[in-house]
């Protein structure tokens, strides 16, 4: 995405754009430049600022503070993955900021993110999430709040087919979640995913065990 297009996308997602001063708009340009104008990251950063009432200058400060954290991760076990998906340290940092905030606001989001990181990225049935056994996911209000937050931050997309709701997660977002989670959290997500699949698709599970 070209810089002008990224700026236009940001301004559409950030309602207070027209009230920003020149210095704040310059910070926005710095932020977008740092994330290589990737549409998903642009939308996520704008949603974060709008949702939390965070100014571009404050977000830029947080963004820079996360830079060391992402550099350390990508310099170690995630270096090969980083090359594979052709992403950058700064984009990973963008998602870390978002993950930090939403998990602070809703602690159950850590387990939901871990579950999403363990599943196939496409055509995730809503029923698989609500019957995952994770705390709060069988509560319709809590689930709507959790999935609504992921949708607002452009972390997942929603589609409907013959009355059934499905979710999809972008490869870069899923990779960022995997990088964000601890080993223990990732293992819990995989366990929850396998248990949910065995409950909803017992025939498939029986066949898998007999292979």
Place of tokens 């009355």: 163
Residues forming beta bridges with residue 161, ordered by sequence position: 164
Where are any strands of DSSP class E within 38-179? 124-125, 157-161, 164-168
User: DSSP for 69-88?
Assistant: HHHHHHHTTTHHHHHHTT--
pTM for the full predicted model:
0.67
pLDDT at 70: 62
- State in Å, rounded, how far the first CA of the chain is from the last one: 45
CATH of domain 107-211: 1.10.10
* Neighbour-count burial for 170-184, b at 16+ CB within 10 Å, e otherwise: eebbbbbbbbbbeee
How confident is the model at residue 200, as a pLDDT? 81
- The confidence score (pLDDT) of residue 78 equals 46
At 36 the pLDDT is 78
Q: What is the pLDDT of residue 25?
A: 94
Other beta carbons within 10 Å of 12: 11
Q: Per residue of the chain (211 residues), give pLDDT as tens.
A: 788 999 999 999 898 899 999 999 999 999 998 887 888 788 888 988 988 889 999 999 888 877 666 655 544 444 444 444 445 566 777 888 899 999 998 988 999 999 999 999 889 999 999 988 888 888 989 999 999 999 988 899 999 988 899 999 988 788 889 888 888 999 999 999 888 888 887 765 444 454 3
Q: Which residue has the tokens 């997500």?
A: 189
What SS3 class is residue 160? strand
CA atoms within 13 A on the CB side of 93: 23
138-145 contacts, C-beta under 8 A, 24 or more apart: 142/108, 145/106
Residue extents of the structural domains in the chain: 107-211
CA distance 12 to 168: 23
Sign of CA dihedral 66, 68, 69, 71: positive
């Amino acid at each position: 995405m070209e810089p002008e297009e990224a700026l236009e996308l940001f301004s559409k997602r950030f309602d207070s754009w027209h009230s920003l001063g020149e210095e704040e708009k310059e910070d926005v340009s710095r932020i977008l430049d740092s994330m290589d104008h990737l549409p998903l990251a642009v939308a996520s950063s704008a949603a974060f600022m709008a949702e939390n009432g965070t100014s571009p200058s404050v977000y830029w400060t947080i963004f820079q503070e996360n830079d060391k954290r992402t550099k350390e991760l990508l310099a170690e076990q995630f270096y090969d993955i980083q090359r594979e998906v052709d992403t950058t340290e700064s984009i990973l940092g963008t998602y870390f900021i978002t993950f930090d905030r939403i998990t602070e606001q809703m602690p159950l989001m850590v387990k939901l993110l871990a579950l999403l990181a363990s599943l196939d990225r496409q055509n995730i049935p809503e029923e698989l999430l609500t019957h995952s056994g994770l705390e709060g996911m069988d509560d319709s209000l809590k689930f709507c709040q959790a999935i609504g937050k992921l949708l607002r931050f452009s972390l997942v997309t929603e589609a409907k087919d013959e009355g059934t709701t499905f979710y999809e997660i972008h490869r870069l977002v899923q990779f960022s979640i995997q990088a964000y989670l601890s080993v223990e959290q990732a293992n819990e997500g995989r366990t929850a995913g396998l248990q949910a699949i065995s409950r909803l698709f017992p025939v498939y599970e029986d066949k898998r065990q007999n292979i």
